[in-house]
Amino acid sequence: MKSPLRCGAFLLAGLVACGSDEATGASNGPDDTPSGSSLPGTATPGGREPAPGTPSAPGEPWVPPTTNGPPATCAAVTGSFGGLSMMACVPAGGAGKSGKPAPLVVALHGFTQAAEAYKDTTQWDVLAGRYGFYVIYPGAPGARSWTWFSGDRARGQGDEVGIVAMVDQMKKDHDIRTDMVFVTGLSAGGYETVVMLADYPDVFAAGASVAGGPYGCTTACMSAGKGDAATVKSAFPTWWNDASTRKPRLLVVQGDKDNIVSPTNLAETVKQWVAATGTDPAPANAKLGIAQDIKGYPYAVYSKDGSTPMVASLTVTGMAHGTPVDPGNGVDEGGQTGSYAMSTKVYSPYYIAKFFGLIP
């Protein structure tokens, strides 16, 4: 059954402190019928469908395990990560070099929010265990903000170096699908998500920004986000200006009652990413046969090739600043309310994972 439906401004986004599927089978898994009716446009890297139970190679769609696994096992990893901490979550059978390459999700907490708290509320480790992928939770010292708004926001600088080093560490320790490395985050982590996509499009295939804003923002963006495509393309021009390279996809999630990061950031981020990726600015829901809502929340997709959602947005009406979760046992339910996680009709990590192509 589903559960029924802030410190002061600027807290999670990192300005000032204030006084703020379908894997079916095992009986111990979630209900096998999704309680929602909409599919948020998944993407497969292309190629034929592998036979069940065989490792999926780069360029092929991801095929998760056919039975529900327990939550991925999470533990601290030591290494040189630019002063950041690293927690890695490994699904059953994924320890060491398993010979079965699997995707990787980087999950970035918000300002003043510890990585452990972000793990507990988002439960990416539960999804990772169920669908057979890896997760890492980077941690900023003292739960400070990521360097999304500072002069360190550039390829080869700031927190970006440590985050990419963690991805490299996972590739060293495990068999990672290099074409299926993703990044997501809340608030400051949402802003940092678009930073990682813009500065490292060669590393990340897609991202999901929750309560974040456009690339190139200063802290002023929190009240009125503004972004342009040229800023994104200048982040790593040899990649962005090459028509033959893969451009990272982006899902933007925002509560329309957010009083910390202005909801206008959703439209500005979509506009920036649509232009940067050369995507048609007209919503493509009808063309792609995708519903215009997820459980009643407005959902828009934008396509570049007429078949794959390149950019998407989900507006969670009535929600303030935080991660939308939907505690429950249904296949599309999960998460816990708590530190900047709010009970809604959608469990956003599940739908983010579907956008990434991690869930059928």
- φ and ψ at residue 28, rounded to 5 degrees: -90, 10
The pair of three-digit structure tokens given for residue 146, joined into one six-digit string: 């990521």
- DSSP state letter for 48: P
Ramachandran area for residue 120 (φ above 0: left; ψ -120 to 50: alpha; else beta): alpha
244 is catalytic: no
Euclidean distance between CA atoms 39 and 322, whole angstroms: 22
How many angstroms separate the CA atoms of 104 and 100, rounded?
13
Q: Which residues pair with 325 in a beta bridge?
A: 343
d(CA 216, CA 221): 9
* Structural contact between residues 314 and 346, judged by C-beta atoms closer than 8 angstroms: yes
Tokens of 82: 């630019």
20, 38, 145, 187: the catalytic one is: 187
What kind and span of H or E run contains 168?
helix 158-173
* Interacting residues of 122 by C-beta distance below 8 A, sequence separation 6+: 107, 323, 325, 335, 341, 349
Between CA 49 and CA 57 the distance in angstroms is 11
Amino acid letter for position 134: Y
The torsion defined by the Cα of 340, 343, 348 and 350, in degrees rounded to 10, comes to: 120
Which token pair is 258? 């957010």
- The CA-CA-CA angle for residues 165, 12, 133, to 5°, reads 40
Q: Which residues contact 177 (CB under 8 A, 6 or more apart)?
A: 56, 58, 62, 101, 102, 103, 104
State the catalytic residues.
187
